[in-house]
């Protein structure tokens, strides 16, 4: 069904258009423009020109005034570009209006990200997730493919023209394909849940590497575990989670997982499609939040990642901030400034393998604090069962007068069982 997605980006020269209003300050607009250029380059598109349009109010036809839209159309003709790329979501009608005005394909930020994901998907699960996002994106955009056909005359009253019939046929086929993909993904998620249960039977805590795309999470996983994960200095180099065993501190084993990077304005379809992948984050015992210390926008990236973590109910999970790529930071004063802005953070360089021992030590300390010993009445079998369902059990023993369980649980369960916590 992929052939139905008419706007798959094939051109090589593009004119990038950003749109800002009173809700976005100048620095944020510049940051988003830089990010859009990075997305385009990741897709292999040559940037012929870039402009950020400041608007006071959005107009339904183009998302901006007609006069400005005509200026952009004229400039795109002068630049001889193959497509326009907008750093915002366009409605199907706006996309159609822009294509009529400019005479070239027009794509929005959501489609750019989807196409990057499509090119990076390697496993069956990632392919299913991307296919699902593509089809959900294409479904409301099918109508403009047959707009001329659906206006054909000749149908009797109460019947539909050939174009509209074909449109409904394709829409039905896409909906059937979406249903099939969702069914397949459910099976994949069941398989992932089984794998997760097997890991939980072996009492090894899990640590997830999280952060903005291209912060260096995969490089860090490789540096700490020799995982051999694909690394590239481009956005979204990693889509599929990779888990490796690592020994930290005095030989404590931990499962370290690399996850898909976050980005501002991440399409909801992709968040929903990658929900099972992101569950690795929500179920982790601790998080290592990787930031690119050399990026001037790292504060914005930190806030974006934290917002996504809160959406995944992982905002309260114990976390270590790892300031990566310190080898690229120009001065010691800059590093000291970062340390003040992010107190308790660890300075590392995955490339030069510096600071990794300190990071491992901090992970060991955090995991040690996160383990509790619970002592339940001998007849309360339901409480150990609750911990087995919701946490990671490290040891369990049944005595005549009590049941003792050493485990790591989330804060909600811990609060519920606080009265049973004892010093082991």
Residues annotated as binding site for Mg(2+)? Answer: 218, 238
- Could you write out the DSSP letters of every residue in 212-260? BTTSSHHHHHHHHH-------SSTT---S-EEEEEEETTTEEEEEEE-P
Length of the chain: 424
Strand partners, 421: 374
Distance CA(198)–CA(352), nearest Å, equals 35
Query: How many Cβ atoms are within 10 Å of 380's Cβ, its own excluded?
Result: 13
Distance CA(424)–CA(401), nearest Å, equals 16
Distance CA(269)–CA(271), nearest Å, equals 6
Q: How far apart are the first and last CA of the chain?
A: 59
Distance CA(36)–CA(315), nearest Å, equals 27
Sign of CA dihedral 206, 207, 211, 214: negative
**Residue numbering of the annotated binding site for GTP:** 211-218, 236-240, 258-261, 324-327, 349-351
Distance CA(205)–CA(255), nearest Å, equals 6
**Residue numbering of the annotated binding site:** 211-218, 236-240, 258-261, 324-327, 349-351
């Amino acid at each position: 069904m992929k052939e139905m997605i008419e706007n798959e980006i094939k051109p090589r020269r593009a004119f990038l258009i950003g749109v800002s209003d009173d809700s976005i300050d100048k620095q944020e607009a510049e940051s988003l423009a830089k990010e859009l250029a990075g997305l385009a380059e990741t897709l292999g598109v040559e940037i012929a020109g870039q402009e950020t349009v400041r608007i006071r109010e959005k107009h339904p036809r183009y998302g901006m005034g007609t006069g400005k839209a005509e200026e952009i159309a004229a400039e795109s003709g002068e630049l001889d570009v193959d497509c326009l790329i907008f750093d915002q979501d366009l409605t199907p009608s706006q996309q159609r209006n822009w294509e009529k005005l400019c005479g070239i394909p027009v794509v929005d930020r959501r489609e750019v990200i989807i196409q990057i994901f499509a090119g990076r998907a390697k496993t069956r699960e990632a392919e299913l997730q991307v296919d699902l996002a593509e089809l959900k994106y294409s479904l409301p955009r099918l109508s403009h493919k047959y707009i001329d056909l659906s206006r054909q005359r000749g149908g009797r009253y109460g019947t539909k023209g050939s174009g509209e019939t074909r449109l409904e046929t394709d829409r039905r086929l896409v909906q059937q394909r979406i249903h099939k993909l969702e069914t397949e993904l459910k099976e994949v998620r069941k398989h992932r849940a089984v794998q997760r249960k097997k890991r939980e039977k072996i009492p090894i805590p899990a640590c997830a590497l999280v952060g903005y795309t291209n912060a260096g999470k995969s490089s860090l996983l490789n540096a700490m575990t020799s995982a051999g994960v694909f690394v590239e200095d481009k956005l979204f180099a990693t889509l599929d989670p990779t888990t490796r065993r690592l020994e930290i501190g005095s030989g404590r084993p931990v499962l370290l997982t690399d996850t898909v990077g976050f980005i501002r304005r991440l399409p909801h379809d992709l968040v929903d499609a990658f929900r099972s992948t992101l569950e690795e984050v929500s179920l982790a015992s601790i998080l290592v939040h990787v930031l690119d210390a050399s990026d001037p926008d790292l504060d914005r990236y930190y806030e974006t990642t934290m917002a996504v973590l809160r959406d995944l109910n992982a905002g309260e999970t114990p976390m270590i901030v790892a300031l990566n790529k310190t080898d690229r930071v120009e001065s010691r004063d800059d590093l000291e400034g970062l340390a003040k802005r992010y107190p308790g953070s660890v300075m590392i360089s995955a490339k030069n393998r510096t600071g990794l021992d300190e990071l491992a030590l901090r992970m060991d300390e955090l995991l040690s604090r996160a383990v509790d010993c619970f002592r339940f009445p001998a007849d309360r079998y339901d409480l150990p069962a609750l911990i087995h369902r919701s946490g990671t059990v490290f040891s369990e023993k049944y005595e005549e007068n009590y049941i003792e369980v050493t485990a790591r649980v989330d804060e909600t369960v811990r609060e519920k069982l606080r009265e049973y916590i004892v010093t082991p």
